[in-house]
Amino acid sequence: MVDCRGGFIKTRTDFLGLRANILRLALAAFICPGLLAQNAHDAGELPEISEARALEISRELANRRAGIEEVQSNIGIYDQSLVEAYTDLARLYEEVGDYENAAAIFLDALQVARVNTGLYSHEQLPLLRLLIQNELKAREWRSADDFYELDYLISSRVFAPVDNEYLVAIEAYGDWKLRLIRENLLDQTTQSLLQTAGEVSYFYDRVIDRVEQETGLLNKRLLAVLYNKTEVDMTLARYVASMPYTTFQGTASPYINQTRCRNQRSSGGQVVRQCYIVQVENPRYRQSQREAKRFAMSRHTRAISRSIGKLEDIKNNNGDLTLAEKERIDGQIGELVVKSEQLVRASDRPFLF
């Protein structure tokens, strides 16, 4: 529930807790002017500020807030000029390390921009990116992730695949997701990390297909996207290689029924044969688990090979590339090939776990 008190949102977790509720984030910005996060983590020591500078900042904050209140009273709370005023105020809070208030004011600016330019508009993107940088400084990884999601959502609505801004948004989103996975910033379990990496790889597949359909197969602007996708697939392959095969779901049944019989004397002294059914471990199940792990490794290594092949195609057939760009791509391809070969060799070894 969005709970506003005096124009501020009650808790950060109510507003930013769930990635699946990104659109709720946008709605909350409409409902609650002045969204203030109350539960941010300690971001470390604040910048050292002299007493004179502290007084100067205090006066500047008061002046800027007074200017905002004057515009709100005389013109309206959603006047477009408030976007710049809010942004300047938020940057001042960020300068002194008050990331909570900075986030709150950036969200006020975002709200005004959204009211004036629509739910999905490119005018919101600079504000979102300032907000993302603020949350990264505050080490608020989950809210930063939410805002990256919102940034990509808006970018995908307002830009076409032929627009450079679309690929810029994709690269920023992909770089963040790769960092999220590598550093495990959200403290996910191994299975959750695998799922996240799989979602990012699938995202790249869809994006690359869309761009190729719109701009052709040899678009050099796909180079960074292809390289990032390959890194994500390698991360997936490494996770799979490090997991014991017993964590994989086999295709065979874990247990089978067996009939066992034995001779037994009856109460009359006669020998009778009695049979019963017992459940035992299926020896084929462990083999199917090993095969499931091999299949997962093969799927990711094939994806890596496809991406490397596309990088080669762009390098060899795109006439717009300079010699320096081709040499840089050669270096990237060589690095990826070495890593890929190491993964393939690892996947060919007997599974010991």
Average pLDDT of the segment spanning 84-111: 93
Task: Supply the mean pLDDT for the chain.
Answer: 81
The H-or-E segment that residue 111 falls in is: helix 99-117
Residues 6+ apart with CB under 8 A from 59: none
* DSSP state at residue 279: E
The whole-angstrom separation of Cα 308 and Cα 341 is: 12
* Residue labelled with tokens 């709605």: 27
Q: Residue 351 pLDDT more than 80?
A: no
The whole-angstrom separation of Cα 157 and Cα 173 is: 15
Residues 6+ apart with CB under 8 A from 340: 234, 301, 304, 305, 308
Q: Are 109 and 126 in contact (CB under 8 A)?
A: no
**Angle CA(72)–CA(112)–CA(78) in degrees, nearest 5?**
30
Q: Are 314 and 205 in contact (CB under 8 A)?
A: no
Average pLDDT of the segment spanning 268-296: 86
Record the pTM: 0.71
Buried b (16+ CB within 10 A) or exposed e, 109-125: bbbbbbbeeeeeeebbb
The residue type of 52 is A
Q: Quick one: pLDDT at residue 28?
A: 36
The residue type of 323 is L
121: confidence class by pLDDT, cuts 50, 70, 90: very high
Average pLDDT of the segment spanning 75-102: 92
Q: Residue 7 pLDDT more than 60?
A: no
- Residue 209 CA neighbour count, 13 Å, CB half: 6
* Residue labelled with tokens 């910048």: 47
Q: Quick one: pLDDT at residue 237?
A: 87
Tens of pLDDT, residue by residue over 216-233, are 767 777 888 888 889 889
In terms of residues, how long is the chain?
353
CATH of the domain spanning 1-158, picked from 2.60.40.1930, 1.10.10.10, 1.25.40.10, 1.10.40.60:
1.25.40.10
Tens of pLDDT, residue by residue over 14-52, are 333 323 333 333 333 332 333 333 333 343 444 566 778
Tens of pLDDT, residue by residue over 294-317, are 888 888 888 999 999 989 888 888
The whole-angstrom separation of Cα 210 and Cα 207 is: 5
3-state secondary structure of 9: strand
Q: Where are the alpha helices (DSSP H) in the chain?
A: 12-16, 22-31, 51-74, 81-95, 99-117, 124-137, 141-158, 164-183, 190-215, 223-242, 283-317, 323-348
* DSSP state at residue 222: G
* Residue labelled with tokens 């996060």: 37
Least confident of 180-189, 208-217, 279-288, 332-341: 208-217
Q: Quick one: pLDDT at residue 348?
A: 58
The whole-angstrom separation of Cα 7 and Cα 171 is: 35
Q: Quick one: pLDDT at residue 103?
A: 95
Structure tokens at 55: 């007084």
Query: Which tops the pLDDT comparison, 109 or 321?
Result: 109
Least confident of 146-160, 212-226, 256-270, 308-322: 212-226
* DSSP state at residue 140: -
**Residue 178, number of CB atoms within 10 A of its CB:** 17
Q: Which residues share a beta bridge with 257?
A: 279
Q: What is the largest CA-CA distance in the chain?
A: 109
Q: Are 304 and 234 in contact (CB under 8 A)?
A: yes
Q: Quick one: pLDDT at residue 190?
A: 78
Most confident of 48-57, 76-85, 241-250, 280-289: 76-85
- Domain positions in the chain: 1-158, 168-250+288-353
Q: Quick one: pLDDT at residue 36?
A: 31
Q: Quick one: pLDDT at residue 146?
A: 95
Q: Quick one: pLDDT at residue 213?
A: 84
